[in-house]
Amino acid sequence: MTRNLERGPFATARREMLKSKAEPSDTPQTASPSYRLAFEDTDFLLRQDLRPVRLQLELLKPELLQQQHGIKSTIAVFGSARIPSPEDAAAALEEAEAMARSKPSDHGAARRLAVARRMLANSRYYDEARRFSQIVTRTCTTDHISDFVIKTGGGPGLMEAANRGADDVGGKSIGLNIVLPMEQAPNAFITPELCFRFHYFAIRKMHFLTRSKALVVFPGGFGTLDELFEAATLIQTKKIKPIPILLFGREYWDRVINIDAMISEGMASLEDKDLFTFVETAEEAWGVIADFYNLPRAQSDSASTK
């Protein structure tokens, strides 16, 4: 007789759940919510007292699925959800110019035009993020073990660009989406089996750093700054080992973050500046990471972003 050596003698939770669903609930006792199996009782799981359990589930689910899909290490890519592709930015600028012409005294239209011009200039980062992911994925991904897998917040803009670059060359990429009041849908380029959704920002940020061998930070707003300084603080306080933190676009970051002012005020140390490396191109960014880990440098196929 063949024995099932994997499961042992106990009935599985799945089998018990299916059995309970098939049973009639025609008595007050069996119809009561208290009679439900705890792990299939949604109302029970959503109680405030069960928050620690929900936190653990959000930590475990992405971790176990990444193990299942052979994700050995990752590169976290941060950046604005608002920066579009060059094509979309050009279309938006054309629309803003038409609106400004039709309403020459409208200050709102003038402001939208100025923003549209900046977005077109910043859209170069979309192409850099896409090409960076192409380089990393082409260089590091194998059939069975995935090293340096691109990981983003899963949304539009520069997150989409990074996931798209991995998809361009047939590689995996991860998306860590978050439930927001203005609902964020995952971009279409995330590997579906590695597209996760979080309720808790704290657990999501833990997953950004778990497995990460580098952080690549493109221009962004509050969310990008939050993620950047979370990681920088953990490295500064030696809660995690040093990893490269690359800031794309020195001109942007020099205007947004004044580390020299913090140092002169005694709020940071001179060596804290060494936490960050400024880069301008995808090739330069990969070169820094490759040198840090003694990996081969690679050249991108520029035609693949067209």
Residue-level pLDDT at 300: 45
Distance (Å, whole) CA 23 – CA 196: 33
| For residue 306, pLDDT beyond 80 | no
| For residue 1, pLDDT beyond 60 | no
13-22, 104-113, 124-133, 284-293, range with the lowest pLDDT:
13-22
| For residue 180, pLDDT beyond 50 | yes
Report, as an integer, the average pLDDT of 211-221.
97
| For residue 226, pLDDT beyond 70 | yes
Residue-level pLDDT at 106: 87
What is the per-residue pLDDT across 50-100, written as a single tens digit (0 to 9) for each?
Answer: 999 999 999 999 999 999 999 999 999 999 999 999 999 999 999 999 988
Residue-level pLDDT at 302: 47
Residue-level pLDDT at 303: 43
pTM of the model: 0.89
What is the per-residue pLDDT across 186-203, written as a single tens digit (0 to 9) for each?
Answer: 999 999 999 999 999 999
- Could you tell me how many helices (H) and strands (E) the chain has, helices first? 13, 7
Residue-level pLDDT at 167: 97
Distance (Å, whole) CA 94 – CA 100: 10
Q: Which of 116, 121, 132, 207 is nearest to 164 (CA)?
A: 132
Residue-level pLDDT at 184: 75
| For residue 48, pLDDT beyond 90 | yes
